[in-house]
Chains A and B, each alone.
Chain A
Amino acid sequence: MPFKYFGKINFTPYTKVDKFADYLHEGKLMGTQCTKCGERYFPPRADCLACMSDSVEWVEYSGEGTLLSFTKIYIAPKGFEDIAPYILGVVDLKEGGRLISWIKDIPDEEIKMDMPVKVVPRIFEEIEEIKLYYTIEKP
C-alpha cells in the first residue's frame, strides 16, 4: 500500500514512513516512537527530532483527542472544490502529537473548542481508486 494512496490528493508518494498507509488501510492510526529516547511522533517521523536517532518503531494511537481549533473552508484549493464547504479540525491526540482533518457528521452548532473527539481511519468509498484518510468524529 504505497503512500500515494494517502489523501484525496497526494503530493508526496515517497516517504520513509510509507507503512503509515498500510496501517491506515488496516484501520490503524499509527505514529512512530524513537527506540533510543522514547519520544513519540504524530504525524510520524522517520528520524527523531529530539535526539536525532534514525531508529524509530511504529506505535498505535487510540485516535482519542480534543479539538484544538476548527474552520469552515468556503474557498477551496484545486482538487477540493467538489467537497466545499468543508470543516477542518485540529486535534490534540491523547498520546501526544496532533493532526488536521475533516470533521465528519457533527452538526456545525455542536462543534466546540476542546470537545473530545475520535479520529477514525477511512477509505473513500464513492470512488474506484483507493484513497485513504481519517476523519474527526464524535467519540
Chain B
Amino acid sequence: MAVNIFSKQVRHLKVGIVGIGHGKFGNRSDATVQELAFEPFKQAIEDTKNLRREDIDALVVGSVPEYHMQRSLPGVVAEYVGMNPQSTWLTEAACGSGSAAIRTAYMAIKSGMHDIVAVIGVQKMRELSTEEILALMGRVGDVQWESIFGTTFPGYYALYANRHMHEFGTTKEQMALVAVKNHHYGSMNPNAFFQKEVSLERVICSDDVAFPVNVLDCCANADGAACVIMTNETLAKKFVDTPIWFTGLGSASAQMSVLRRPNLVEIPSAIEAAKQAYVQSGIKASDIQVAEVHDCFTIAEIMAYENLGFCAKGKGGKFIEEKQSYIGGSTPVNVDGGLKAKGHPVGATGVSMTTEIVKQLRGDAGKRQVSGAEIGLTHNVGGIGQYTFVHILRR
C-alpha cells in the first residue's frame, strides 16, 4: 500500500487503465448491489497480468445512493469484494457518478496518495417500487420552482428537443435515427439490456412520454456494474501489455435549474468539459476516432455531437442522418449500443463507457471494432446537464 506519499515524485507519470470488467446490464433481480459489483471487479483483476487483489490500495465507488435500500454503498461493496481494510469512498454526480469516480481515482494516483485504484460503478435501479421511482422522478430538477409543476426527466429533454427542432430544424426522424443506430450496435453487445435492432417506424410510433420524446427515444433504467483498475506509468507495464492512458480529463458544472441556463439547445457543462479535455490532450475534436456519449435521450446524443465539436452547432440532426456517427463515418459514436441499448444503471454508466473505449483502443471490440482507433473519448452527463465529465484516452 502507498503510505509514504510525501517522499514520492509521481506527478510527471501518466495514469492509465490496466484492467476492465463489465457485468450484464438489465433487470438483475437475481443479485444484490454488492453481488453486481463483484462481477466486473473479478473480471477486471483477471483482465490484468498477475495483479493480485491485495495490490489494489483504494476502491472508489460511483453510484447514486437514493436508489438503494442499502445505505452507505462503499462499505458493503468493499466488504463483499474483499477490499478491507483499504481506503474506500463514494462519488456522486447523478448520472455522471461513474466518471466522477474515475476522476477522483486519477487525482489519487497522480498525487501519489495511492498507486493502484479500482473504480466500480454500480447501480441497482429496479429495487424500488414503481411508486417510489415515480416519486424520485418528480424531483430531478429544482424542487422549489420546477418540480411543483410535475416536471420529469424526459420532460426536460423534451424542452431541449422542442427548442432544438425550432431553432435548427432538427426532426423527430433524426432523433429516432439515433435510437436505430444505437440498437443496431447494441445487438452486437452481449452485456446490453436490449440486443435487438429497432426500425425507424417503431421508434416514431412508440408511445408518447413527453412530446416530442417517445418511449423509444428514452434509455431504460437498469441494474448493472462496471469496473476499471487504474495505476501510474511505472507500474502499468507490470500488469498489462497495452495500458490505455488518460490524456485529458475535463469536468464542468452548469445551473441546476433550466430557468437559469443561457439557452435550451446545448449543455454548457459539456462544452466547457470538452474544451478542457481537448486542451489538456493537445488535440481537436476531429482527432477523436471513437466516442462514447451520454445518450440518455436521443436528443442528448444529437446535442453531444455538437457540444463535443464533432459537427457544428445545430448540425447534429444532419450528422446522424448522414451516418457520420456510424463505424465508417467521421466519428463513430456509441458503437456498444450506448445508454439506449445497454440500459442506464446511473452510477455504472461512466465506467461502462470507459471499458468500451479501452476495448476499442486495445483492438479487442470484435464485430464492433473501429479499425485502428488510437484516440477515444467518453462524455458522461449528470442529471439534465448539471455535471459533465469528458475524458480522452489514448493507446
Q: In the bound complex, what is the Cα–Cα distance between A90 and B144 (angstroms)?
A: 15
Query: Is B150 located at the chain interface by the 8 A CB criterion?
Result: yes
Q: In the bound complex, what is the Cα–Cα distance between A131 and B159 (angstroms)?
A: 26
Among A11, A12, A77, point to the contact of B150 (Cβ < 8 A): A77
Given contacts A12-B143, A90-B258, contact A102 B154 (CB under 8 A): no
Query: Is B264 located at the chain interface by the 8 A CB criterion?
Result: yes
Q: In the bound complex, what is the Cα–Cα distance between A32 and B211 (angstroms)?
A: 33
Among A43, A68, A97, A101, point to the contact of B149 (Cβ < 8 A): A101
Q: In the bound complex, what is the Cα–Cα distance between A100 and B259 (angstroms)?
A: 7
7 shortest interchain CB distances as A-B pairs = A7-B148, A77-B138, A80-B150, A71-B158, A11-B143, A72-B211, A78-B135
Among A7, A70, A80, A83, point to the contact of B162 (Cβ < 8 A): A70
Query: Is B66 located at the chain interface by the 8 A CB criterion?
Result: no
User: Which chain A positions have C-beta within 8 A of B154?
Assistant: 75
Contact A88 B150 (CB under 8 A): yes
Name A135's closest neighbour in chain B (CB-CB): B149
Would you give the shortest CB distance from B225 to chain A, in whole angstroms? Answer: 27
Contact B134 A77 (CB under 8 A): yes
Please report B residues at the A interface, Cβ cutoff 8 Å.
131, 134-135, 137-139, 143-152, 154-155, 158-160, 162-163, 166, 207-213, 257-260, 264
Would you give the shortest CB distance from B351 to chain A, in whole angstroms? Answer: 28
Contact B144 A43 (CB under 8 A): yes
Given contacts A11-B147, A71-B210, A90-B159, contact A76 B152 (CB under 8 A): yes
Interface size on A, residues (CB 8 A): 37
Q: In the bound complex, what is the Cα–Cα distance between A102 and B212 (angstroms)?
A: 17
User: Which chain B positions have C-beta within 8 A of A7?
Assistant: 148-149
Please report A residues at the B interface, Cβ cutoff 8 Å.
6-12, 15, 43, 68-80, 83-86, 88, 90, 97-102, 113-114, 133
Q: In the bound complex, what is the Cα–Cα distance between A63 and B212 (angstroms)?
A: 27
Would you give the shortest CB distance from B158 to chain A, in whole angstroms? Answer: 4
Name A6's closest neighbour in chain B (CB-CB): B148
User: Which chain A positions have C-beta within 8 A of B148?
Assistant: 6-11, 133
Contact B149 A12 (CB under 8 A): no
Would you give the shortest CB distance from B257 to chain A, in whole angstroms? Answer: 8
Given contacts A72-B208, A77-B134, A98-B259, contact A8 B162 (CB under 8 A): no
Would you give the shortest CB distance from A85 to chain B, in whole angstroms? Answer: 8
Known: A69-B166, A74-B210, A98-B260. 12 other contacts (CB 8 A): A7-B148, A43-B259, A68-B264, A71-B158, A73-B152, A74-B207, A77-B137, A77-B152, A83-B150, A90-B259, A100-B146, A113-B162
Q: In the bound complex, what is the Cα–Cα distance between A85 and B151 (angstroms)?
A: 12
Q: List 29 A-B contacts (CB under 8 A).
A: A7-B149, A8-B149, A9-B138, A11-B143, A12-B143, A43-B257, A68-B264, A69-B162, A69-B166, A71-B159, A71-B211, A73-B210, A74-B209, A75-B210, A77-B134, A77-B138, A77-B139, A78-B134, A78-B138, A79-B135, A79-B150, A80-B150, A88-B149, A88-B150, A90-B259, A98-B259, A99-B145, A100-B259, A113-B163
